[in-house]
Amino acid sequence: MELDWSISVRSYPGAPRGGDLGLVIPAPDGALAALIDASGHGLSAFKVAQQARNVLLGSTDWAPDALLCELDAALSGSIGAAISVARIYPDSVTFAGVGNVQASVDLSPLLVREGVVGLRMRTPRTVTVALTADAWLLMHTDGVKHPNAIPAGSAETSARTLVETRGSDHDDAGVLLARWRSSP
């Protein structure tokens, strides 16, 4: 099976950069996926999102709860962020999230704790759920309305369509989609 994934982000209208940022790091046994929504908009939010990205890229512990604790320490004193992290395996996904970055598998919600990473983070809770072939892992920031269905197509096409059709004109909008495709 092949991991089909994509990230689509649109900054707040008129802002050159925003605080929504996604990251997928492939691994031999799956991937690490994260979606970040730094508080606020514009360059200050972009800076915090980049800081979180650098922590994720440099971390050696890919357990979602451990990563969120590492991110909380690194973002302490900043404007903070909502962050969801998933470790994708061939048959399951292990997930933890804090703040308003929602996540679901085939539109069934995954547990996201209240709080702000870097400011007032509650202890993250990890959940592991099945991720069967062709089931979508969806993460989206609060700038995207939760869909009733995932648009048809590749992860790239579907993620872009969700941002275009469900994204707010008053906030950054970010979507991360991933699935194991049973056939190319």
Mean pLDDT, the chain, rounded, equals 95
Kindly report, residue by residue over 12-56, the tens digit of the pLDDT.
888 788 999 999 999 999 999 999 999 988 889 999 999 999 999
Q: What is the Cα–Cα distance from 36 to 21, expressed in whole angstroms?
A: 5
Tell me the pTM.
0.95
| pLDDT at residue 184 in the model | 61
- Fold of domain 2-181: Phosphatase 2c; domain 1 (3.60.40)
| pLDDT at residue 120 in the model | 86
Q: Give the mean pLDDT of 144-164.
A: 96
Q: What is the Cα–Cα distance from 31 to 24, expressed in whole angstroms?
A: 7
| pLDDT at residue 42 in the model | 86
| pLDDT at residue 182 in the model | 83
Tokens of 149: 């269905």
Cβ neighbours of residue 183 closer than 8 Å, sequence gap 6 or more:
none
Residue ranges per structural domain of the chain? 2-181
Q: Among residues of the chain, what percentage have pLDDT more than 70?
A: 99
Dihedral angle over CA of 109, 105, 53, 173, nearest 10: -70
| pLDDT at residue 161 in the model | 97
- Where does the pLDDT of residue 117 fall: very low under 50, low under 70, confident under 90, or very high at 90 and above? very high
DSSP string, 88-149: E-SSEEEEEEESS-EEEETTEEPP-BSEEBTTEEPPP--EEEE--TTPPEEEE-TTBPPPSS
